Amino acid sequence: MQKLVQVFRDSSKIAWGVVLATIAVLMGSSALLLNAAEARYERDIHRIGFNENWELLDEIRKQAGFMTDSLEEALEASPEPPKNQAYLVVSIEDRRVWYKIGDSTIYTTQVAVGSGKELVREGEKGTWKFETPRGRLVVQAKEEDPMWIPPDWHFVELARKKGLGLVKLTRGQAIPTADGATITVQGNDVVKRSQDGRTTAFDVEEDREIIVGGNVIIPPFGTNQRKYANVLGTHRLLLGDGYALHGTNKPESIGQAVSHGCIRLRNADIEHLFGIVEVGTPVFIY
């Protein structure tokens, strides 16, 4: 009987030893996987920073919980206009904005709003939808002579309109041209480097982008060729996450549903609002 009990005890010790060894192996594997994942994450973050793709970095930070989506928070706030405070009201259907204090209208004018169209992402799943968001937002900042940093969808639209291909230029990359030169990034400029080493920075603007070998070139974020002057008019009231009330270089578009989500005004109208609307003013869009 004692021998039988001893056998069970020895078997139990062996079984526990196997269990503990298995747990140790699993913990070691998990640690290796975690270290590998952290290394890949760090590498990707460095790559994003090197290419100055701050929009993607903000999206990663938002998903990781390090930053909040200000637009989503604003849209979840109470939709009721204040009774004794200045606020803006935008009607997407009427394509009009009102600046009001209580029930009194101080200023009103026509606007252009989001077209509601969709654009399939180039080489990715999903689409861009160009809608003006509805709900309660807030004027977060004011800018004079704002620069437009065109998102990727601008270059996708342009390429499809012209029946051209699309190449996304990254820092360190060199795109060959038919005359033996290359297109590359030097400092904060996208340049054409000739065979003798001379470089010339591209002078770009809306509808005059870099086209090489039948492809529209998408400049990296942070380069001067990714910054367009005059497109957004003379002034801008920022609402968060890329949305704003701003002027336009296409005044004929006012009164139409043609924008990519922002609210366009004639330059004289946005200049007037810029002078009377304060940061923190609620904006109700319906």
pTM score, whole prediction: 0.70
What are the C-alpha distances in Å from 89 to residues 82, 139, 162, 176, 237?
11, 12, 38, 51, 14
β-pairing, 243-246 with 235-240?
antiparallel
Q: What is the pLDDT along the chain (286 residues), one digit of tens a residue?
A: 554 445 445 555 555 555 455 555 555 555 554 455 454 444 444 444 444 444 444 444 444 444 445 555 555 555 667 778 999 999 999 999 999 999 899 999 999 999 999 999 877 778 999 999 999 999 999 999 999 999 999 999 999 999 999 999 999 999 999 999 999 999 999 999 999 999 999 999 888 899 999 999 999 999 999 999 999 999 999 999 889 999 999 999 999 999 999 999 999 999 999 999 999 999 999 9
Domain ranges, ordered by start, for the chain? 2-50, 72-148+229-285, 152-226
Q: Regarding the domain with residue range 72-148+229-285, which homologous superfamily does it belong to in the CATH classification? A: L,D-transpeptidase catalytic domain-like (2.40.440.10)
Phi, psi angles (nearest 5°) of residue 166:
-145, 130
